[in-house]
Amino acid sequence: MITRTATQKLQQLASTFKAVAVTGARQSGKTTLVKEVFSNKPYVSLESPDVRNLAMSDPRGFLNNYPNGAVLDEVQRVPELFSYLQELLDNSRQKGMFILTGSNNFLLQQNITQTLAGRIAYLNLLPFALDELSSSGILPDNDNELMLKGFYPPVYDQDIPSPDWCSNYIRTYVERDVRQIKAIPDLLAFDRFMRLLAGRNGQEMNYASLSIEAGVDAKTVTSWLGVLESSFIIFLLRPHHQNFNKTVVKRPKVYFHDTALVCSLLGITNTIQLATHPLRGALFEGMVVTELYKRRANLGLPINLFYWRSKAGQEVDVIIDCGGNLYPIEIKSGMTVHPEHLRNLRYWMRLSDEKAGVLLHAGVATQRMSDGIEVINWRKFREDDWV
């Protein structure tokens, strides 16, 4: 079994709070993690119709079966439980009494905000991280293979070909999970919207353009983006607010949490197609940015990642904002480093007067420049050694 980095943070939260909510994409490994960490607690899946009906019809009686707490899986399916959970938690001093999981962040947060605010901690669990695969000895050596295979646990645990798994995952997600979040009458239109969005992975969000191509209004685009974000399919990377007396763009960039889903939505089914695909660079960038995101999620840290772009077109792919100390990262998918790859980093460092930057690339070259820029293979990057 692959050891999850989030284990330590989950244990720490459970020793501090009366309840912990573990959220994340469906099939990201939430159930496996909580079952292992809290093996002494009863496990209850509210996906089961019989269990769910009992919990809905008699929530107090249902919870009375677990006087010392339990793991409640997919708890957002039974919103009736939350008020009774509040009463139990208020009357108990036990830490880590209930562990709640959910793959629908919007519905789960909606119920928690109304009833359990201040009583519960959050931990977001995403698909496998690079270090988790590496330490288990199952990390693909080739970047194209890794992008195509992605990071979802079933692809590794069950040895399912990624194109087959992803196509069925997307179909199940659209037909089942989307309906839980929002009443979308035309699921074919939503599926088309996802495929259009995959073609914009790593790009600024142009809501008007996407609205025209998808054939829906701008409000619907915003709503559907919220659906995808709350179910951990995508995330939005916000522009950094500091402009250094330059006019900067204000639109977020969109990234999918897993490159395999993007490949599936774009119809990429093998590494030969991927190697020459015009969006390969964007896929590579997305994979690296998502790894930076996962590190923070696994450690329970704020997602302090941004990007920077001026109206004139100068751009830095990632800005890490550590309490006002800014660290720029440029990402290149090629194996050869060219001087122009460093141009935007150097431009931003002159504007900001920051003295360090990193270029992450797919090659083997490692170099520390005299101006404070470090060139390193993206797989070898250890943020703690730098930030």
Q: How far is CA 222 from CA 2, 34, 193, 205, 227, in A?
A: 36, 33, 12, 10, 9
Q: Is the pLDDT confidence value at 247 over 90?
A: no
Compute the residue count for the chain.
387
pLDDT in tens, 206-219: 999 999 999 999 99
pLDDT value, residue 385: 66
Cα–Cα distance, 34 to 74 (Å, whole number): 12
Residues 326-366: tens digit of each pLDDT: 999 999 999 998 889 999 999 999 988 888 999 999 999 89
Which two tokens mark 111? 């119920």
Dist. CA 370–CA 31, nearest whole Å: 48
**Which CATH number among 3.40.50.1820, 3.30.450.20, 1.10.10.10, 2.130.10.30 corresponds to the domain 130-296?**
1.10.10.10
pLDDT given at position 261: 97
Domain boundaries, the chain: 7-124, 130-296, 306-385
Phi then psi dihedrals of residue 193, to 5 deg: -60, -45
Please list the alpha-helical segments (H only) found in the chain: 7-14, 30-37, 49-57, 59-64, 81-90, 105-115, 130-135, 143-149, 153-157, 162-172, 178-181, 187-198, 207-214, 218-230, 259-266, 271-275, 280-299, 343-352
Query: pLDDT at position 77, please?
Result: 87
Residue recorded with tokens 């469906």 = 26
What's domain 7-124's architecture? 3-Layer(aba) Sandwich (3.40)
**70 confidence band (pLDDT: 50, 70, 90):** very high
